[in-house]
Amino acid sequence: MNTTDRNNTEQEIRLLQKFSHPFIVAYKDSFLDRDQYLNIVMTYCDDGDMYCLIKLQKGNLFTEDQICSWLVQMALALF
């Protein structure tokens, strides 16, 4: 990891540490493994992430209510 990438990553970790919101996955820890890969530990999400939800839909559309719920949660997370 070059110096710029390392600084950006450290800045992201500091930012994640400050978040405390019910609609943002919480940061728990970070560490470098023996191969010097950065690992960021976050809280467990029972329903997985958006990628998993979209993949499980297998091309079927989400309901308007579900999309509106997600949009409200994302907007509230920004405040």
CB 17 within 8 A of CB 24: no
Torsion sign across C-alpha atoms 51, 56, 61, 65: negative
- Please give the pLDDT value at position 75: 93
pTM of the model: 0.65
| CATH (one of 1.10.150, 3.30.1490, 1.20.120, 3.30.200) for 3-77 | 3.30.200
Structure confidence by residue, pLDDT tens digits, 11-63: 999 999 998 888 888 999 999 899 888 899 999 988 888 898 999 999 999 99
Assign 66 a pLDDT band (cuts: 50, 70, 90): very high
